[in-house]
Structure 1
Amino acid sequence: MQQTRDISFATPRRTELFDDLVDLFLGAGFRHLTLDEIARRLKCSKSTLYTLAGSKEQLVRAATVHFFRRNTQIVEDRLASTAGSRERISAYLSAVGHALSTASADFMSDLDTFPPAREVYEQNSRIAARRVQELIDEGVAKGDFRHVNAAFAADLVSTMMVRIQQGAVRDQIGLDDASAYRELASILTAGIGL
């Protein structure tokens, strides 16, 4: 498998194309779209798409990476402007839920059935779980939370994030992704509070 081209040195036009690509995929999914259809919807040529990635599979993976990079910055910015241990965990998980709330059921289904994109999602879920673990550890150190096994709590968060991503929470309970993340934050912070 070829490496996905690095988009960290993207030009404004490439960034705009990736933003448009992400928006297209979030709304319509991607499995059913051909490169011709993607180019038509983005109002660009197929050769332009090939400057972003060497194949449709690589394009989907690169767009998924772009989605998470873009939203990681938004989530971290929200976290940076939030004080208080409980509030920081709630802000973090709510921001993650908000970022994912823009994804259609088609996108989430396609993501789950396309291993390269699912791998990106799962990697970001692990990163998010580690971030929650750090936030719990910070809260315990400050005396805002009771002493808990932060790794276990982070694993619990990670497990729920996967269930949310797979649509299990939506299908079985009826909560949309954003609401599920808010509930997760509420239960977690109440469970570790003093």
Structure 2
Amino acid sequence: MTETTPTFATRRREELFDNLLDLFLAEGFAHLTLDEIAARLRCSKTTLYTLARSKEQLVRAGTVHFFRRATDAVEARVAAVADPRERITAYLSAVGEELGTASAQFMSDMDAFAPAREVYEQNTRLAADRVQELIAEGVRAGAFRDVHAAFAADLVATMMVRIQQRGVHTATGLDDAAAYRELAGILTAGIMA
């Protein structure tokens, strides 16, 4: 019996985070109280406190959960592709699709709430590092010209931040997913051997 208890608790915790994240992605979080979150998730506030000690910590933990889940989905897409150009396209397109699951309200709330914004910014830096790795792999394979991978990744990071901060949407009307697809196309065309 003791073997199944931790597994059940872990599964229940993961389910709660998934449901919490679905709520946040659909509606944002700034306007929700802990009482409203508990009611919407059909659990007690005590149960929420097992996830985090405050709403602020719950929002941060939910944001971390979002990026972990998104990273797993993105990396699964990249792992299924061998061609260097297609790997970068798969990576950036998948990032855009994952961010595309978030409502405008969630993105706005995340930008306005420093702990969540910091998680997003950290993940943007990690994504830029991953693009740099993918570019370097492509250069070594001879698929890309010998570009300065760190510069190309910095360029990508700059655009990712502009996408995150809704600057690209404001300037172009592109949603996040479309902006990432355009970024992938421009980047890969620019570095082809």
TM-score exceeds 0.5: yes
What is aligned with 2:86?
87
Counterpart of 1:129, as a letter, is: A
Q: Distance in 1 between matches of 2:21 and 2:158?
A: 25
Secondary structure of the residue that 2:143 maps to in structure 1? coil
Q: Distance in 2 between matches of 1:188 and 1:15?
A: 36
Q: Distance in 2 between matches of 1:40 and 1:80?
A: 39
1:37-52 alignment runs, 5 A limit: 37-52=36-51
Counterpart of 2:155, as a letter, is: L
Deviation string for 1:94-149 (max 9, x for gaps)? 00100000011101011111010000001001000000000000000111000111
Q: Distance in 2 between matches of 1:59 and 1:140?
A: 42
Cα shift at 1:170: 1.2
What is aligned with 2:3?
none
Secondary structure of the residue that 2:162 maps to in structure 1? helix
Cα shift at 1:25: 0.5
What is aligned with 2:116?
117
Unaligned runs of 5+ in 2: 1-8
TM-score, reference length from structure 1: 0.94
Q: Distance in 2 between matches of 1:165 and 1:34?
A: 25
Q: Distance in 2 between matches of 1:57 and 1:99?
A: 23
Q: Distance in 2 between matches of 1:134 and 1:156?
A: 14
Asked if residue 74 in structure 1 is aligned to residue 50 in structure 2, the reply is: no
Cα shift at 1:152: 0.8
Q: Distance in 2 between matches of 1:52 and 1:145?
A: 45
Secondary structure of the residue that 1:11 maps to in structure 2? helix
Structure 1 stretches of at least 4 aligned residues deviating more than 2 Å after TM superposition = none
1:1-194 alignment runs, 5 A limit: 11-194=10-193
Unaligned runs of 5+ in 1: 1-9
Cα shift at 1:71: 1.2
Cα shift at 1:169: 1.1
Deviation string for 1:11-47 (max 9, x for gaps)? 1110000001111111101111100111111111111
Counterpart of 1:37, as a letter, is: E
Higher helix share: 2
TM-score, reference length from structure 2: 0.94
Q: Distance in 2 between matches of 1:169 and 1:104?
A: 16
What is aligned with 1:5?
none
Cα shift at 1:55: 0.2
Counterpart of 2:87, as a letter, is: R
Q: Distance in 1 between matches of 2:165 and 2:110?
A: 9
Q: Distance in 2 between matches of 1:13 and 1:184?
A: 38
Q: Distance in 2 between matches of 1:45 and 1:61?
A: 19
Secondary structure of the residue that 2:16 maps to in structure 1? helix
Cα shift at 1:83: 1.3
